[in-house]
Structure 1
Amino acid sequence: MSFSNKLNTSTADSRRPIGLILQTLHKWLGLIVGLQLLIWIVTGLAFNLIDEQFLDANQYRTTHQTASPTTAPAPAANLLQQYQAEGIIELTLTSVLERAVYTLITAQQTRWFWADSLQPLSLNDAEILAIAKQSYSGSGELSAPQILTHETPFDASGPVAMLIAADEVGTRIYIDTASGTVLAHQNSQSDLKDLLFMLHFMDYAPDNGIGFNHLLVQLVSIAALLLGLSGIYILGHKFHQGQLSLPFLRRKTAIGKLVLFTQDAQLLAEFTELSGTYLESINQGRERLRTQCGGGGRCGLCKLRFVEQPPAPNDYDLDKLTATELEQGIRLSCQHEASPRKLALVTKAQHRYWPQLER
């Protein structure tokens, strides 16, 4: 198949060169990975610069010294017999508000019972408030308990009650109403800490749990790997096409003359200082050939026709120029290193914007 047929086939298929596809992918991957890297840096600096005490959720949390139960526990034989079929694992005696409580752990679930009556543990609002006060050392008044209906991050065995303290940090106390356990203290400053952790570990999904190696981290890791691999390919591809060269091997200035003609073959200008691409050489000192992308191969406005011996087209030429233009020797002047050649303008707009004083 001839070069012309290959060009026509490529144009008919409307396929972008693989190099440009990878460059687009590389840029989007760079945006995603770069954004997350910026978030890592900012949140990491925040953790190092912000005082740890400022982010502490337990500023007013205190450990209540458990006193001996004021009620005598009843024998647990009947309780053990009742749940023996579930496979009893452990029975312990604790206390809630100085009242003895049995904690029964079976193979199916954990239950709590008032030890003096063997009735399931049940807390009213006053008892929940009393438990919260035992864990709180601040001076703020506690609100009435509010049973949360939405899902919480706590490992609770029953409904979770929240109480809010009227202090300067807005302390919130969470209590498991099934066991009387204080689940956590939180406040407005610890919310900032949680936000920083969420951003730092990409913990955006509620089902990630406490594991670091979750799906989002894996996806960003794969994106970073693809970013590196695509970057290596693009560098090699550009070097192969002559778009990239090592600085110490790059020719500073070509010796000779670049002659530029109008569309109707009239002499327009001559350039003897050839450095960089044809576009850079022509635009030395002033803008003679206008572009929108600044020589990035994206707008196609810098195309010129090589009167003789056009260079081999690269990816940008194949993407922006038609098969007919390529056959006529038209190339993007921003994509080829300048050398002594004869070139011609190809559009009326190029003539219209050419500096009047140089015509």
Structure 2
Amino acid sequence: MFKFFRSLHNWLGLILVVQITLWFLSGLIMSILPIEQVRGEHLRQFVSTQWQQASVSPQQVLQQHGAKASLSLSQQLSWQNDQLTATPAYLVNEATKVYRYSAVSGELLPELAEPEIRTLALAQYQGDGELLAAQLLQQLPQEVGHLPAPLWQIQFADSNNSRFYLDPATGAVMRVRTDNWRWFDFFWMLHIMDYQDRSNFNNPLLITFSASALLFTLSGMVLLWRRFRPRRSKKAALTIND
């Protein structure tokens, strides 16, 4: 039996050595990177929304949509008198399309023009770079691929290679992506072994390797027990036999 466990342990070690190393390395890197900087929270200005201004309820908005529509809270930003202000807004997702409503008036929000988007992006940006480019994307890159299109991509010339993704109707920053986030995302991909979408934590490859790593650990424990288990001395054995 111990010969079987030794063979199993050796073969599993040969198969798993690379992935186990990647698990430890990726876990170490992700724990070192501050999550606030990964999310880019230090680069954006957060504006509080005065929800007491809302006069339209979510139920009133959802009545205009189907039963499968979902609603989330958001904010509509504006730049007035050199000050960034936010009023309450609703985002309704229905059949892969997003509708934006003012929570004050209940009206659909029109898409903002590029000069307004640039102004709002700069107002929310707290870095030290200049605005390089603004582009309305109908097809989103992988780093924000789970969000609904379209979104405005705002590129800044800073050491973080920062990109802000703004809602085209509210002007709110939906996501911030930096080089720190891209490194984190790369090591997250290695950690969960989802090399395509980088989001499926239950993929068969991860489950298979995790189960194999568990067998590797258990077989190692059996071999350690055999090696270090207490042994009766010959003198004690002779005494028992007498």
Q: Which has the higher contact order (CA 8 A, sep 6+)?
A: 2
Corresponding letter in the other structure for 1:64: V
Q: Quick check: 1:35 aligned with 2:18?
A: yes
Could you tell me which residue of structure 1 aligns to residue 76 of structure 2?
A: 95
**1:37 deviation in Å?**
1.6
Q: Cα distance 1:59–1:224, how it changes in 2: closer, same or farther (>3 A)?
A: same
**1:143 deviation in Å?**
2.4
The secondary structure found in structure 2 opposite 1:158 is coil
Q: Quick check: 1:161 aligned with 2:152?
A: yes
Structure 2 stretches lacking a partner, 5+ long: 79-84, 224-228, 232-242
Q: Cα distance 1:166–1:121, how it changes in 2: closer, same or farther (>3 A)?
A: same
Could you give the per-residue CA deviations for residues 42-73 of structure 1, whole angstroms, max 9, x where no partner exists? 233434556677756333222135589xxx99
**1:111 deviation in Å?**
1.8
**1:190 deviation in Å?**
2.7
The answer to whether the Cα contact below 8 Å between 1:125 and 1:144 also exists between their aligned partners in 2 is no
Instruction: Tell me, in whole angstroms, the C-alpha distance in 2 between the residues paired with 1:232 and 1:147.
Output: 57
The answer to whether the Cα contact below 8 Å between 1:58 and 1:186 also exists between their aligned partners in 2 is no
Matches within 5 A, 1:203-214: 203-206=194-197, 208-209=199-200, 212-214=201-203
TM-score between the two structures when normalised by the length of structure 1: 0.44
Corresponding letter in the other structure for 1:145: A
Instruction: Tell me, in whole angstroms, the C-alpha distance in 2 between the residues paired with 1:49 and 1:99.
Output: 34
Number of residues of Structure 1 aligned to a counterpart in Structure 2? 210
Q: Cα distance 1:167–1:64, how it changes in 2: closer, same or farther (>3 A)?
A: same
Q: Cα distance 1:28–1:129, how it changes in 2: closer, same or farther (>3 A)?
A: farther
Could you give the per-residue CA deviations for residues 197-238 of structure 1, whole angstroms, max 9, x where no partner exists? 3323334331634xx4443321112222454678899x8xxx
Structure 1 stretches lacking a partner, 5+ long: 1-18, 236-245, 249-359
Could you tell me which residue of structure 2 aligns to residue 183 of structure 1?
A: 174
Instruction: Tell me, in whole angstroms, the C-alpha distance in 1 between the residues paired with 2:25 and 2:207.
Output: 21
Matches within 5 A, 1:237-248: none
The answer to whether the Cα contact below 8 Å between 2:165 and 2:175 also exists between their aligned partners in 1 is yes
Instruction: Tell me, in whole angstroms, the C-alpha distance in 1 between the residues paired with 2:33 and 2:184.
Output: 10
Q: Quick check: 1:137 aligned with 2:120?
A: no
The answer to whether the Cα contact below 8 Å between 1:159 and 1:178 also exists between their aligned partners in 2 is no
Q: Quick check: 1:146 aligned with 2:163?
A: no
Bigger helix share: 2
Could you tell me which residue of structure 1 aligns to residue 66 of structure 2?
A: 86
Residue identity over aligned pairs, in percent, reads 26
TM-score between the two structures when normalised by the length of structure 2: 0.61
Q: Quick check: 1:44 aligned with 2:27?
A: yes
The answer to whether the Cα contact below 8 Å between 1:160 and 1:176 also exists between their aligned partners in 2 is yes
The secondary structure found in structure 1 opposite 2:16 is helix
Q: Cα distance 1:60–1:46, how it changes in 2: closer, same or farther (>3 A)?
A: same
Instruction: Tell me, in whole angstroms, the C-alpha distance in 2 between the residues paired with 1:230 and 1:134.
Output: 58
Could you give the per-residue CA deviations for residues 68-123 of structure 1, whole angstroms, max 9, x where no partner exists? 9xxx99x97xxx69954635887989533158675364876752146779354212
**1:173 deviation in Å?**
0.8
Q: Cα distance 1:117–1:144, how it changes in 2: closer, same or farther (>3 A)?
A: farther
**1:179 deviation in Å?**
4.3
Could you tell me which residue of structure 2 aligns to residue 122 of structure 1?
A: 111
Could you tell me which residue of structure 2 aligns to residue 356 of structure 1?
A: none
Corresponding letter in the other structure for 2:120: I
Q: Quick check: 1:173 aligned with 2:158?
A: no
The answer to whether the Cα contact below 8 Å between 1:95 and 1:101 also exists between their aligned partners in 2 is yes
The answer to whether the Cα contact below 8 Å between 2:48 and 2:86 also exists between their aligned partners in 1 is no
Could you give the per-residue CA deviations for residues 127-150 of structure 1, whole angstroms, max 9, x where no partner exists? 221221122012311123223324
Instruction: Tell me, in whole angstroms, the C-alpha distance in 2 between the residues paired with 1:105 and 1:81.
Output: 8
Corresponding letter in the other structure for 1:204: Y
